[in-house]
Amino acid sequence: MAENCAIIGIGQTKYAAIRKDVSLPGLLREAALRALEDAGMTFADMDAIILGTAPDMFEGVMMPELFFADALGAVGKPILRVHTAGSVGGTTGIVAASTIQTRTYDKVLCIAFEKQSESDAMWALSPAIPFQPQLVAGAGGYFAPLIRSYIRRSGAPEDVGMMVAVKDRQHALKNPYAHLHVDETMETVRNSPMLWDPIRYSETCPSSDGACAMVLVNEKIGKAHPKKPAWVRGTAMRTEATFFSGRDQINPLAGRECAKDVYSQAGITDPAKQIDTAEIYVPFSWFEPMWLENLGFAEVGTGWKWTLEGKTKLGAELPINASGGVMSTNPIGASGLIRFAEAALQVRGQAGEHQVDGAKLALGHAYGGGSQFFSMWVVGDSPV
Protein backbone atom coordinates (compact mmCIF):
# COMPACT_ATOMS: atom_id res chain seq x y z
CA MET A 1 0.00 0.00 0.00
CA ALA A 2 1.28 3.39 -0.91
CA GLU A 3 1.68 5.96 1.83
CA ASN A 4 -0.68 8.94 1.64
CA CYS A 5 1.00 12.26 0.94
CA ALA A 6 -0.24 15.43 2.63
CA ILE A 7 0.57 19.02 1.71
CA ILE A 8 0.84 20.97 4.95
CA GLY A 9 2.86 23.99 3.88
CA ILE A 10 2.52 26.29 0.89
CA GLY A 11 4.62 29.40 0.27
CA GLN A 12 4.86 31.78 -2.64
CA THR A 13 6.89 34.89 -3.29
CA LYS A 14 5.38 38.10 -4.46
CA TYR A 15 5.75 37.73 -8.21
CA ALA A 16 7.07 40.64 -10.27
CA ALA A 17 8.88 41.41 -13.52
CA ILE A 18 12.05 42.21 -11.62
CA ARG A 19 12.66 41.30 -8.00
CA LYS A 20 15.69 43.55 -7.57
CA ASP A 21 15.34 43.39 -3.79
CA VAL A 22 16.42 39.74 -3.57
CA SER A 23 19.27 37.58 -4.87
CA LEU A 24 18.55 34.17 -6.37
CA PRO A 25 18.91 32.44 -2.97
CA GLY A 26 16.89 35.25 -1.38
CA LEU A 27 14.03 34.64 -3.78
CA LEU A 28 13.97 30.91 -3.01
CA ARG A 29 14.14 31.51 0.73
CA GLU A 30 11.14 33.85 0.61
CA ALA A 31 8.96 31.01 -0.73
CA ALA A 32 10.62 28.26 1.33
CA LEU A 33 10.30 30.11 4.64
CA ARG A 34 6.63 30.88 4.00
CA ALA A 35 5.95 27.20 3.23
CA LEU A 36 7.82 26.11 6.36
CA GLU A 37 5.98 28.65 8.50
CA ASP A 38 2.66 27.39 7.15
CA ALA A 39 3.79 23.85 8.04
CA GLY A 40 5.02 24.93 11.48
CA MET A 41 8.42 23.50 10.64
CA THR A 42 11.97 24.61 9.92
CA PHE A 43 14.62 23.63 7.40
CA ALA A 44 16.03 21.28 10.04
CA ASP A 45 12.84 19.18 9.91
CA MET A 46 13.16 18.42 6.20
CA ASP A 47 14.52 15.04 5.08
CA ALA A 48 15.29 16.20 1.54
CA ILE A 49 14.85 19.01 -0.96
CA ILE A 50 13.34 18.48 -4.43
CA LEU A 51 14.07 21.47 -6.65
CA GLY A 52 12.82 22.29 -10.11
CA THR A 53 13.60 25.01 -12.59
CA ALA A 54 13.56 25.47 -16.35
CA PRO A 55 16.73 25.86 -18.46
CA ASP A 56 19.72 26.99 -16.41
CA MET A 57 20.44 29.60 -19.07
CA PHE A 58 17.51 31.65 -17.80
CA GLU A 59 19.65 32.64 -14.82
CA GLY A 60 23.15 31.91 -16.08
CA VAL A 61 23.96 29.42 -13.32
CA MET A 62 24.65 25.80 -14.24
CA MET A 63 22.82 23.40 -11.91
CA PRO A 64 21.94 26.24 -9.51
CA GLU A 65 20.68 23.90 -6.79
CA LEU A 66 24.35 23.36 -5.89
CA PHE A 67 24.71 27.07 -5.16
CA PHE A 68 21.41 27.06 -3.22
CA ALA A 69 22.38 24.21 -0.88
CA ASP A 70 23.37 26.60 1.92
CA ALA A 71 20.38 28.93 1.52
CA LEU A 72 17.88 26.05 1.45
CA GLY A 73 19.16 24.34 4.56
CA ALA A 74 20.09 21.33 2.44
CA VAL A 75 23.55 20.80 3.88
CA GLY A 76 24.01 17.15 4.86
CA LYS A 77 20.80 16.20 3.07
CA PRO A 78 19.73 14.89 -0.31
CA ILE A 79 18.79 17.43 -2.96
CA LEU A 80 17.37 16.37 -6.31
CA ARG A 81 17.06 18.70 -9.29
CA VAL A 82 14.27 18.08 -11.76
CA HIS A 83 14.11 19.62 -15.24
CA THR A 84 11.36 18.64 -17.67
CA ALA A 85 10.95 21.91 -19.64
CA GLY A 86 7.78 23.95 -18.95
CA SER A 87 6.17 21.07 -17.10
CA VAL A 88 9.06 21.03 -14.62
CA GLY A 89 7.16 22.68 -11.77
CA GLY A 90 4.53 19.98 -11.95
CA THR A 91 7.06 17.19 -12.24
CA THR A 92 8.90 18.58 -9.20
CA GLY A 93 5.71 18.25 -7.18
CA ILE A 94 5.16 14.72 -8.47
CA VAL A 95 8.71 13.56 -7.68
CA ALA A 96 8.42 15.09 -4.20
CA ALA A 97 5.07 13.34 -3.60
CA SER A 98 6.60 10.13 -4.88
CA THR A 99 9.35 10.23 -2.24
CA ILE A 100 6.63 10.40 0.45
CA GLN A 101 4.30 7.82 -1.13
CA THR A 102 7.13 5.28 -1.39
CA ARG A 103 8.24 6.06 2.18
CA THR A 104 11.66 7.09 0.91
CA TYR A 105 11.28 10.26 3.02
CA ASP A 106 8.74 11.46 5.61
CA LYS A 107 9.01 15.24 5.13
CA VAL A 108 10.26 17.01 2.04
CA LEU A 109 10.50 20.56 0.82
CA CYS A 110 9.75 20.94 -2.85
CA ILE A 111 10.55 24.22 -4.50
CA ALA A 112 10.58 25.65 -8.00
CA PHE A 113 11.63 29.06 -9.23
CA GLU A 114 12.60 31.28 -12.10
CA LYS A 115 14.24 34.69 -11.99
CA GLN A 116 13.64 35.71 -15.55
CA SER A 117 15.06 39.17 -14.97
CA GLU A 118 18.55 37.67 -14.60
CA SER A 119 18.68 37.04 -18.34
CA ASP A 120 16.54 37.10 -21.44
CA ALA A 121 14.28 34.09 -21.85
CA MET A 122 13.43 35.05 -25.42
CA TRP A 123 17.15 34.78 -26.23
CA ALA A 124 17.58 31.57 -24.27
CA LEU A 125 14.62 30.04 -26.11
CA SER A 126 15.97 30.92 -29.55
CA PRO A 127 19.41 29.33 -29.84
CA ALA A 128 21.14 28.71 -33.15
CA ILE A 129 21.23 24.92 -33.43
CA PRO A 130 23.22 23.33 -36.25
CA PHE A 131 21.06 22.08 -39.15
CA GLN A 132 17.92 23.69 -37.76
CA PRO A 133 16.41 27.03 -38.74
CA GLN A 134 16.88 29.62 -35.98
CA LEU A 135 13.35 30.72 -35.24
CA VAL A 136 14.12 33.75 -33.03
CA ALA A 137 10.45 33.58 -32.22
CA GLY A 138 10.32 32.45 -28.60
CA ALA A 139 7.49 30.33 -27.31
CA GLY A 140 4.79 32.49 -28.88
CA GLY A 141 6.20 31.89 -32.34
CA TYR A 142 6.05 28.16 -31.75
CA PHE A 143 2.52 28.07 -30.36
CA ALA A 144 0.72 30.61 -32.57
CA PRO A 145 0.37 28.17 -35.51
CA LEU A 146 -1.13 25.58 -33.14
CA ILE A 147 -3.66 28.13 -31.96
CA ARG A 148 -4.55 29.07 -35.53
CA SER A 149 -5.13 25.37 -36.24
CA TYR A 150 -7.36 25.11 -33.20
CA ILE A 151 -9.44 28.10 -34.31
CA ARG A 152 -9.78 26.68 -37.81
CA ARG A 153 -10.75 23.23 -36.57
CA SER A 154 -13.22 24.34 -33.94
CA GLY A 155 -14.65 27.41 -35.65
CA ALA A 156 -14.22 29.35 -32.41
CA PRO A 157 -14.95 33.08 -32.61
CA GLU A 158 -11.96 35.42 -32.28
CA ASP A 159 -13.25 36.86 -28.96
CA VAL A 160 -12.56 33.70 -26.99
CA GLY A 161 -8.84 34.29 -26.52
CA MET A 162 -9.49 37.84 -25.38
CA MET A 163 -12.13 36.65 -22.91
CA VAL A 164 -9.64 34.27 -21.30
CA ALA A 165 -7.16 37.13 -20.89
CA VAL A 166 -9.77 39.37 -19.27
CA LYS A 167 -11.03 36.62 -16.97
CA ASP A 168 -7.57 35.56 -15.78
CA ARG A 169 -6.44 39.15 -15.15
CA GLN A 170 -9.64 39.83 -13.23
CA HIS A 171 -8.99 36.70 -11.15
CA ALA A 172 -5.43 37.91 -10.51
CA LEU A 173 -6.80 41.07 -8.87
CA LYS A 174 -8.00 38.78 -6.07
CA ASN A 175 -4.58 37.13 -5.67
CA PRO A 176 -2.09 39.28 -3.73
CA TYR A 177 0.91 37.29 -5.02
CA ALA A 178 0.05 37.65 -8.73
CA HIS A 179 2.48 39.54 -10.92
CA LEU A 180 -0.02 41.41 -13.11
CA HIS A 181 -2.63 43.44 -11.32
CA VAL A 182 -4.29 45.02 -14.34
CA ASP A 183 -7.95 45.91 -14.66
CA GLU A 184 -8.11 44.21 -18.07
CA THR A 185 -11.16 44.69 -20.33
CA MET A 186 -12.05 43.41 -23.79
CA GLU A 187 -11.08 46.85 -25.08
CA THR A 188 -7.60 46.87 -23.53
CA VAL A 189 -6.90 43.40 -24.88
CA ARG A 190 -8.26 44.19 -28.36
CA ASN A 191 -6.15 47.34 -28.55
CA SER A 192 -2.92 45.66 -27.48
CA PRO A 193 -0.37 44.98 -30.24
CA MET A 194 -0.51 41.75 -32.21
CA LEU A 195 2.65 39.76 -31.43
CA TRP A 196 2.22 36.41 -33.13
CA ASP A 197 -1.10 36.31 -34.95
CA PRO A 198 -3.58 35.55 -33.33
CA ILE A 199 -1.77 36.16 -30.01
CA ARG A 200 -1.94 39.77 -28.87
CA TYR A 201 0.38 41.27 -26.27
CA SER A 202 -2.35 41.06 -23.63
CA GLU A 203 -3.10 37.45 -24.53
CA THR A 204 0.43 36.48 -23.53
CA CYS A 205 1.85 35.53 -20.15
CA PRO A 206 4.27 37.96 -18.51
CA SER A 207 7.94 37.25 -17.72
CA SER A 208 8.17 36.94 -13.96
CA ASP A 209 10.56 36.48 -11.10
CA GLY A 210 9.27 34.17 -8.41
CA ALA A 211 9.40 30.95 -6.45
CA CYS A 212 6.86 28.57 -5.00
CA ALA A 213 7.46 25.99 -2.28
CA MET A 214 5.51 23.24 -0.59
CA VAL A 215 6.08 21.01 2.42
CA LEU A 216 4.93 17.44 1.75
CA VAL A 217 4.64 14.89 4.55
CA ASN A 218 3.37 11.39 5.24
CA GLU A 219 -0.12 10.54 6.49
CA LYS A 220 0.73 10.41 10.18
CA ILE A 221 2.33 13.86 10.21
CA GLY A 222 -0.36 15.22 7.89
CA LYS A 223 -3.19 14.05 10.17
CA ALA A 224 -1.52 15.52 13.24
CA HIS A 225 -1.11 18.91 11.59
CA PRO A 226 -3.33 21.60 13.18
CA LYS A 227 -4.35 23.11 9.83
CA LYS A 228 -6.25 21.15 7.19
CA PRO A 229 -3.82 19.56 4.71
CA ALA A 230 -4.42 18.93 1.04
CA TRP A 231 -4.05 15.26 0.11
CA VAL A 232 -2.50 13.96 -3.08
CA ARG A 233 -5.10 11.75 -4.77
CA GLY A 234 -3.26 11.03 -8.00
CA THR A 235 -0.19 12.03 -10.00
CA ALA A 236 0.75 11.36 -13.61
CA MET A 237 3.24 12.39 -16.24
CA ARG A 238 3.47 11.65 -19.94
CA THR A 239 5.89 12.51 -22.74
CA GLU A 240 5.78 12.35 -26.49
CA ALA A 241 8.55 13.33 -28.96
CA THR A 242 8.81 16.83 -30.43
CA PHE A 243 9.15 15.66 -34.00
CA PHE A 244 6.77 12.90 -34.99
CA SER A 245 4.44 13.28 -37.93
CA GLY A 246 1.71 11.20 -36.33
CA ARG A 247 1.17 13.47 -33.33
CA ASP A 248 -1.61 15.97 -32.93
CA GLN A 249 -0.09 19.03 -31.29
CA ILE A 250 -3.49 20.69 -30.92
CA ASN A 251 -4.88 17.87 -28.79
CA PRO A 252 -1.81 15.83 -27.81
CA LEU A 253 -2.25 12.17 -26.95
CA ALA A 254 0.27 12.50 -24.10
CA GLY A 255 -2.04 15.06 -22.44
CA ARG A 256 -5.14 12.92 -22.90
CA GLU A 257 -3.46 9.81 -21.53
CA CYS A 258 -1.93 11.72 -18.62
CA ALA A 259 -5.39 13.04 -17.66
CA LYS A 260 -6.94 9.59 -17.98
CA ASP A 261 -4.25 8.15 -15.70
CA VAL A 262 -4.55 10.80 -12.99
CA TYR A 263 -8.38 10.67 -13.04
CA SER A 264 -8.40 6.91 -12.67
CA GLN A 265 -6.10 7.12 -9.62
CA ALA A 266 -8.40 9.73 -8.07
CA GLY A 267 -11.58 7.78 -8.92
CA ILE A 268 -12.78 10.45 -11.32
CA THR A 269 -15.06 9.28 -14.13
CA ASP A 270 -16.65 12.62 -15.04
CA PRO A 271 -14.05 15.35 -14.53
CA ALA A 272 -16.38 18.25 -15.35
CA LYS A 273 -18.79 17.16 -12.59
CA GLN A 274 -16.39 15.81 -9.98
CA ILE A 275 -13.56 18.33 -10.12
CA ASP A 276 -14.41 21.59 -8.38
CA THR A 277 -11.68 23.76 -9.84
CA ALA A 278 -8.57 23.42 -11.96
CA GLU A 279 -5.34 25.32 -12.28
CA ILE A 280 -4.16 24.65 -15.80
CA TYR A 281 -1.07 25.87 -17.63
CA VAL A 282 -2.32 28.58 -20.01
CA PRO A 283 0.63 30.70 -21.20
CA PHE A 284 -1.32 32.06 -24.16
CA SER A 285 -5.03 32.76 -23.77
CA TRP A 286 -6.24 30.24 -26.34
CA PHE A 287 -4.74 27.35 -24.44
CA GLU A 288 -7.67 27.47 -22.00
CA PRO A 289 -10.22 26.09 -24.48
CA MET A 290 -7.59 23.80 -26.01
CA TRP A 291 -6.72 22.22 -22.65
CA LEU A 292 -10.38 22.05 -21.54
CA GLU A 293 -10.79 19.60 -24.42
CA ASN A 294 -7.48 17.80 -23.92
CA LEU A 295 -8.29 17.30 -20.23
CA GLY A 296 -11.71 15.88 -20.97
CA PHE A 297 -13.72 18.70 -19.37
CA ALA A 298 -15.29 19.60 -22.73
CA GLU A 299 -16.02 17.59 -25.87
CA VAL A 300 -13.45 18.03 -28.64
CA GLY A 301 -14.25 21.20 -30.57
CA THR A 302 -16.38 22.73 -27.82
CA GLY A 303 -13.92 24.00 -25.21
CA TRP A 304 -14.31 27.56 -26.48
CA LYS A 305 -18.03 27.48 -25.65
CA TRP A 306 -17.19 27.03 -21.98
CA THR A 307 -15.11 30.17 -22.04
CA LEU A 308 -17.66 32.08 -24.12
CA GLU A 309 -20.49 31.14 -21.75
CA GLY A 310 -18.46 32.25 -18.74
CA LYS A 311 -18.40 28.77 -17.18
CA THR A 312 -14.70 29.06 -16.29
CA LYS A 313 -15.05 32.23 -14.19
CA LEU A 314 -14.75 32.31 -10.44
CA GLY A 315 -18.22 31.62 -9.05
CA ALA A 316 -19.32 29.71 -12.17
CA GLU A 317 -19.54 25.99 -12.92
CA LEU A 318 -15.85 25.15 -13.29
CA PRO A 319 -13.55 27.99 -12.23
CA ILE A 320 -10.30 27.70 -14.18
CA ASN A 321 -7.21 29.49 -12.87
CA ALA A 322 -8.88 31.31 -10.00
CA SER A 323 -5.39 32.54 -9.09
CA GLY A 324 -5.04 34.41 -12.37
CA GLY A 325 -2.95 31.57 -13.78
CA VAL A 326 0.12 31.70 -15.97
CA MET A 327 -1.52 34.58 -17.87
CA SER A 328 -0.93 36.73 -14.78
CA THR A 329 2.25 35.19 -13.32
CA ASN A 330 4.94 33.26 -15.16
CA PRO A 331 8.23 32.44 -13.45
CA ILE A 332 8.61 29.63 -16.01
CA GLY A 333 10.23 26.90 -13.91
CA ALA A 334 7.84 27.60 -11.03
CA SER A 335 4.64 28.01 -13.06
CA GLY A 336 3.77 24.31 -12.93
CA LEU A 337 4.35 24.07 -9.19
CA ILE A 338 2.26 27.20 -8.68
CA ARG A 339 -0.62 25.44 -10.47
CA PHE A 340 -0.18 22.44 -8.16
CA ALA A 341 0.10 24.68 -5.08
CA GLU A 342 -2.95 26.76 -6.02
CA ALA A 343 -4.97 23.55 -6.46
CA ALA A 344 -3.85 22.54 -2.96
CA LEU A 345 -4.72 25.98 -1.53
CA GLN A 346 -8.24 25.59 -2.92
CA VAL A 347 -8.96 22.24 -1.26
CA ARG A 348 -7.44 23.53 1.98
CA GLY A 349 -9.80 26.51 1.81
CA GLN A 350 -6.80 28.84 2.03
CA ALA A 351 -7.13 30.70 -1.27
CA GLY A 352 -8.51 33.87 0.30
CA GLU A 353 -10.38 36.17 -2.05
CA HIS A 354 -9.98 33.79 -4.98
CA GLN A 355 -11.30 30.79 -3.03
CA VAL A 356 -13.72 28.56 -4.93
CA ASP A 357 -16.57 27.88 -2.50
CA GLY A 358 -16.52 24.38 -1.09
CA ALA A 359 -13.70 23.10 -3.30
CA LYS A 360 -13.00 19.49 -2.34
CA LEU A 361 -11.21 18.14 -5.40
CA ALA A 362 -8.88 20.16 -7.62
CA LEU A 363 -6.62 19.52 -10.59
CA GLY A 364 -3.14 20.99 -11.07
CA HIS A 365 -1.79 20.79 -14.63
CA ALA A 366 1.46 21.70 -16.35
CA TYR A 367 2.84 21.19 -19.82
CA GLY A 368 6.09 21.92 -21.57
CA GLY A 369 8.28 21.60 -24.64
CA GLY A 370 6.34 21.61 -27.89
CA SER A 371 3.10 20.59 -26.08
CA GLN A 372 4.78 17.25 -25.39
CA PHE A 373 5.51 16.98 -21.65
CA PHE A 374 2.57 16.75 -19.24
CA SER A 375 2.41 16.60 -15.43
CA MET A 376 -0.79 16.54 -13.42
CA TRP A 377 -1.94 15.99 -9.92
CA VAL A 378 -5.34 15.77 -8.31
CA VAL A 379 -5.58 16.94 -4.71
CA GLY A 380 -8.47 16.51 -2.32
CA ASP A 381 -9.55 17.66 1.12
CA SER A 382 -9.27 14.08 2.43
CA PRO A 383 -6.82 11.21 1.83
CA VAL A 384 -9.38 9.09 -0.04
Under the rule (CB under 8 A), what is the footprint of other proteins? 2, 23-24, 54-63, 66-70, 74-85, 91, 95, 98-99, 101-104, 118, 124-125, 127, 129-131, 236-244, 246-247, 252-254, 257-258, 369-370, 372-373
Q: Closer CB to other proteins, residue 136 or residue 194?
A: 136
Least distance between other proteins and beta carbon 325 (Å): 23
Least distance between other proteins and beta carbon 24 (Å): 7
Q: How far apart are CA 227 and CA 40, in angstroms?
A: 10
Q: Closer CB to other proteins, residue 220 or residue 227?
A: 220
CA torsion sign for 337, 342, 348, 351 is positive
Q: Are strands 48-52 and 79-82 parallel, antiparallel or unpaired?
A: parallel
Least distance between other proteins and beta carbon 297 (Å): 20
Least distance between other proteins and beta carbon 173 (Å): 33
Of 289, 13, 360, 384, whose CA–CA distance to 175 is shortest? 13
Q: How far apart are CA 53 and CA 327, in angstroms?
A: 19
Q: Any bridge partners for residue 278, and if so which?
A: 320, 363
Least distance between other proteins and beta carbon 379 (Å): 18
Q: Closer CB to other proteins, residue 60 or residue 176?
A: 60
Encoded amino acid at 320, one letter: I
Q: Closer CB to other proteins, residue 125 or residue 266?
A: 125
Q: Closer CB to other proteins, residue 67 or residue 201?
A: 67
Q: Closer CB to other proteins, residue 125 or residue 326?
A: 125
Least distance between other proteins and beta carbon 106 (Å): 14
Least distance between other proteins and beta carbon 264 (Å): 11
Q: Are strands 230-239 and 209-218 parallel, antiparallel or unpaired?
A: unpaired
Of 286, 56, 351, whose CA–CA distance to 149 is shortest? 286
CB-based contacts of 264, cutoff 8 Å, min separation 6:
234
Q: Closer CB to other proteins, residue 242 or residue 382?
A: 242
Q: How far apart are CA 266 and CA 2, in angstroms?
A: 14
CB-based contacts of 163, cutoff 8 Å, min separation 6:
186, 285, 307, 308
The answer to whether the beta carbons of residues 373 and 239 sit under 8 Å apart is yes
